[in-house]
Amino acid sequence: MTQSRTSRDHISIAAPDIGTEETERVVDVLESGQLAEGSEVEAFQSEFADHSGATHAVATSNGTTALHTALEAVGVGDGDTVVTTPFSFVASANAIRLAGAEPVFADIDPETYTLDPDQVEERMRAEPGGVDAILAVHLYGLPADVDTLEAVADDHDVPLVVDAAQAHGARYDGKPVGSHGDAACFSFYPTKNMTTGEGGMVTTDDQEIARNAARFVNHGRDRAGYEHVDVGHNFRLTDIAAAIGRTQLEKLPEYNEARRRNAAMLDELLADTNLVTPTEPNERRHVYHQYTVRCGNRDEVSSVLEANAIDTGVYYPIPIHEQPAFDHVDCDAPVAETVADQVLSLPVHPGLSDRDLERVSRVLSEEVTVADV
The string of pLDDT tens digits covering residues 164-218 is 999 999 999 999 999 999 999 999 999 999 999 999 999 999 999 999 999 999 9
261 within some domain? yes
> Residue 1 above 50 pLDDT?
no
Same domain, 146 and 106: yes
Number of domains making up the chain: 2
Residue 74 reports pLDDT greater than 80: yes
Residue 4 included in any domain: no
pLDDT of residue 339: 98
Q: Are residues 129 and 180 in the same domain?
A: yes
The neighbour count for residue 297, using CB atoms within 10 Å, is 18
Q: Is residue 59 part of a domain?
A: yes
Q: How confident is the model at residue 8 (pLDDT cuts 50, 70, 90)?
A: low
Q: Using an 8 Å Cβ cutoff, are 95 and 71 in contact?
A: yes
Distance CA 17, CA 248 (A): 9
Confidence of residue 227 (pLDDT cuts 50, 70, 90): confident
Residue 4 has pLDDT above 60, yes or no: no
Is residue 335 included in any domain, yes or no? yes
pLDDT, one tens digit per residue, over 335-370 is 999 999 999 999 999 999 999 999 999 999 999 999
**Distance from the Cα of residue 123 to its chain's centroid:** 23
Terminal CA-to-CA distance of the chain, rounded, Å? 36
Question: Does residue 5 carry a pLDDT above 50?
Answer: no
Domain region containing 126: 20-247
Q: Average model confidence (pLDDT) for the chain? A: 95
Q: Say whether both 137 and 227 belong to one domain.
A: yes
- 215 and 292 within one domain: no
Is 123 inside a domain boundary? yes
The verdict on residue 64 lying in a domain is: yes
**Can you give the CATH number for the domain in which 266 is found?**
3.90.1150.10
pTM of the model: 0.95
332 pLDDT band, cuts 50/70/90, is very high
Q: Which amino acid is at 214?
A: A
Whether 155 and 173 have beta carbons less than 8 Å apart is answered as: no
Query: Is the Cβ–Cβ distance between 149 and 295 less than 8 Å?
Result: no
Q: How confident is the model at residue 129 (pLDDT cuts 50, 70, 90)?
A: confident
Report the alpha-carbon distance of residue 6 to residue 10 in Å, rounded. 6
**Is 227 found in the same domain as 302?**
no
Q: Can you give the three-state secondary structure of 17-52, one letter per residue?
A: CCCHHHHHHHHHHHHHCCCECCHHHHHHHHHHHHHH
Q: Quick check: is 15 in a domain? A: no
Whether 121 and 223 share a structural domain: yes
pLDDT at 51: 97
The per-residue DSSP string of 64-98 comes to: HHHHHHHHHHTT--TT-EEEE-SSS-THHHHHHHH
Quick count: other Cβ atoms within 10 Å of Cβ 246? 20
Domain stop point among 208, 231, 247? 247
**Is the domain of 70 the same as that of 204?**
yes
User: CA 9 to CA 308: how far, in whole Å?
Assistant: 9
pLDDT tens digits for range 311-326:
999 999 999 999 999 9
pLDDT at 33: 86
Confidence of residue 161 (pLDDT cuts 50, 70, 90): very high
